[in-house]
Homo-oligomer: A and B are copies of this chain.
Amino acid sequence: MKLQSIKITPIAFRDPPLLNAAGIHEPYALRSIIELESDTGQIGLGESYGDAAFLQLAAALQPRLVGLDPFNLNGLRERVLDVVKGTQVDTGTEFLLAPGTDPVKNVQKLYSAFEVALLDMQARHLGMPLVDLLGGRVRDRVPFSAYLFFKYAHHIDADYPADAWGETLTPEQLVAQAQTMVQRHGFGSFKVKGGVLPPQDEVACIRALAAAFPRKPLRIDPNGNWSLPTAIAMGKQLDGLLEYYEDPCPTLADMAELHRATGMPLATNMVVTDMAQFRDNVPLDACQIILSDHHYWGGLRETQVLARMCEVFGLGLSMHSNSHLGISLLAMAHLAASVPLLSYACDTHYPWLDPNEEVIRGGQLKFLDGAVVLGDAPGLGVEIDQAALARLHAQYQTCGIRSRNDAAQMRKYQPDWSGKAPRF
């Protein structure tokens, strides 16, 4: 079996005006959809970043994949290393909110995007769900948490109507958002994307959630937007209310000091985002929980390695998310179901997706009691709705966005916005 066709389709989908430490989401989020086909007619699907820099690398890799044996992951890595070494890219990103936009991760990002599609093809070839190829399911249901955002009611510059969620800027509005999430999807835990309001107001939001959902685990993620003194002060108020405290401070050294000062379990997808940082974290004991993301950790097999390393070094493991569609959600779920160590419900932006903006046949995936339930269909278990893909690709062509820039978008609302972190 050899790869015969490699199709990479950039898409744009509607994204609500969600606030974060770096600014605000633009009206459209970008992704790429990868469709592989072998000489035997087997398909393999993937989903990854859709910014210009990633697409440039993917386009450079594309012709080199023709003829590759889909089981030859070492061959994929060699080609990726070659392409990344030989390609100059400009990310055009002002601030690095998530490691997905960091060019030092180009190898991991590019490899992962195609590794997932190759593993999907392998599993389809074998007629088995992806999780079974990955070692077999240790769980059938992968729990996700409700990802709560502060948000405006509408974009300043969208060419489409406002979303139905409305504004979320107060504790009452956040509790209402959480209630909607639970009603719709059955989530059993909550994550608040913080670093937006003054820290004391965000603590008040956590207290309101704790009062409204007394037995449900809570988390806050200020995205490195709190200074160490602020993080310590807020930590003392939050201690006992959180299952973990995610990335309040922007550096590994600050996180280490925060853990020493508070004893709270600290989670990260900002200061331990690759193997070198994993190594650096060991002697510091800065972070106790790694929020993995196969899109930038270097694929599903590498995330399995990471999971094993977390076991060995006594760390917890869960999953980070960027705005994404169902293929990424399924890749996360199949991976998570294969990993013995999964300490917490995973993050996902999926509930923020407009119901009409999914590229998989049959439309959006459903959560059951907050979990993705794995089926028995081969591979990722889904097919592409080509009409939907074409529609989102057309949207990409017309939306004008080519790289995510939450800070520039925020300046449309607040012209003096700097976005520098930590702001508080």
State in angstroms the CA–CA spacing of A126 and B302 once bound together.
Answer: 23
The reply to whether the CB of A210 lies closer than 8 angstroms to some CB of chain B is no
Q: What is the total number of copies of this protein in its complex?
A: 2
Contact of A136 among B73, B279, B283, B308 (CB under 8 A): B73
Residues of chain A in range 277-319 having any CB-CB distance to chain B below 8 Å: 278-279, 282-283, 301-302, 304-305, 308-309, 311-313
Q: Which of B136, B278, B301 contacts A69 (CB 8 A)?
A: B136
B72–A132 touching, CB < 8 Å: yes
- CB pair A135 B73 closer than 8 Å: yes
Across the interface, name the chain B residue whose C-beta is closest to A274: B312
Given contacts A305-B305, A309-B309, contact A72 B136 (CB under 8 A): yes
Chain A interface, >50% SS class: helix
Task: Confirm or deny: A404 has a beta carbon within 8 angstroms of a beta carbon on chain B.
Answer: no
Confirm or deny: A71 has a beta carbon within 8 angstroms of a beta carbon on chain B: yes
- Closest B residue to A73 by beta carbon equals B135
CB atoms of B71 and A136 under 8 A apart: yes
B71 and A312 form a contact (CB under 8 A): no
Whole-angstrom distance between the alpha carbons of A198 and B362 in the complex? 76
Instruction: From B69, B77, B126, B138, give the contact of A132 (CB < 8 A).
Output: B69
Distance in angstroms between the alpha carbons of A137 and B71 in the assembled complex: 10
**How many chain-A residues does the 8 Å CB contact rule pick out?**
33
Given contacts A126-B126, A282-B282, A283-B283, contact A275 B71 (CB under 8 A): no
A75-B138 Cα distance, complex, nearest whole Å: 8
> A302 — which chain B residues lie within 8 A by C-beta?
308
**A133 on the interface (CB 8 Å rule)?**
yes
Within 8 A of B (CB), among A99-150: 125-126, 128, 132-133, 135-138
A338 contacts B by Cβ under 8 Å: yes
Interface centre among A73, A75, A125, A312 (most CB of B within 10 A): A312
Per-residue CB contact flags for chain A residues 40-72 toward chain B (1 = under 8 Å, else 0) read: 000000000000000000000000000001011
Once the chains bind, are B74 and A278 in contact (CB under 8 Å)? Answer: no
Instruction: Tell me the residues in window 331-371 of chain A with beta carbons closer than 8 Å to chain B beta carbons.
Output: 338, 340
Residue A276 is within 8 A (CB to CB) of chain B in the complex: yes
A interface list, Cβ under 8 A from B = 69, 71-75, 77, 125-126, 128, 132-133, 135-138, 275-276, 278-279, 282-283, 301-302, 304-305, 308-309, 311-313, 338, 340
12 A-B pairs (CB sep. < 8 Å): A71-B126, A71-B128, A71-B133, A71-B136, A72-B132, A72-B135, A73-B135, A73-B136, A74-B137, A74-B340, A279-B312, A305-B309
